[in-house]
Amino acid sequence: MGSMEWSIQGPSFSNCNCDWGCPCQFNALPTHGFCCAFVAMRIDKGHFDGAPLDGIRWACTLRWPGPIHEGNGEAQVIVDQEANEAQRHAVISIVKGEHTEPGATIFQVFSATLNKVHDPLFLPIDFACDVHARTAKVTIKGLVEASGNPILNPVTDLPHRVLIKVPEGFEYDEAEVGTGITKATGAVALDLNGTHSHFTVYHMTNKGVVH
């Protein structure tokens, strides 16, 4: 794992194939028996072994044939084309769970469940996310189109707000729940529509989530 220090902080958007609420957040089995997901983030403030990561955007597509903890998963990391070589290496290392204390972050935990990590891609990433409004839009031209919105009350058609708080979680401290759509090609294809999404501020270091 190594003892290299790193830190990232900024808005993130995640969309998976499960029903709203995502059973993973409650240590339950996936809605449909398997897991696939898309996650994207803009690092507003961050560093990796002295290299600044401010402003860098990244995304990842993931898939498991069953529950995540049973393994056999695959993933592909996409890093902002504007990132320099040191920043690309830094983001890939973090998302692959390297230089992180065991069990400290979702990246390190997921790394133990992946059989295949496809070669990373370096592409322009358009990222917009308003955590409190529960809206997001991520475009990676030719590869990913993803969006998130609030859940709407079926009677009033007004936005319905739900928060999930995980005081000892390895992904976030608190997240806003919404609904998402993701269409992705590439090594890990996704076709999600009206499924669970959450919006949060990732704030992690090599020692874990900052609560």
Q: With contact defined as beta carbons under 8 Å apart, do 124 and 189 qualify?
A: no
Instruction: Report if residue 1 sits inside a domain.
Output: no
Tell me how many domains the chain contains.
1
Average pLDDT over residues 66-88: 97
Report the CATH number at residue 77.
Answer: 2.40.400
Q: Pairing relation of β-strands 45-48 and 6-16?
A: antiparallel
Instruction: Report if residue 78 sits inside a domain.
Output: yes
Q: Which domain holds residue 115?
A: 6-209
Q: With contact defined as beta carbons under 8 Å apart, do 191 and 15 qualify?
A: no
Whole-prediction pTM: 0.95
Instruction: Report if residue 179 sits inside a domain.
Output: yes
Mean pLDDT of the chain: 96
pLDDT at 1 over 50: no
Average pLDDT over residues 35-64: 97
| Phi, psi torsion values for 89, nearest 5 degrees | -60, -40
Instruction: Report if residue 140 sits inside a domain.
Output: yes
Instruction: Report if residue 80 sits inside a domain.
Output: yes
- Percent of the chain at pLDDT > 70 equals 99
pLDDT at 143 over 50: yes
Instruction: Report if residue 148 sits inside a domain.
Output: yes
pLDDT single digits (tens) 6-41: 999 999 999 999 999 999 999 999 999 999 999 999
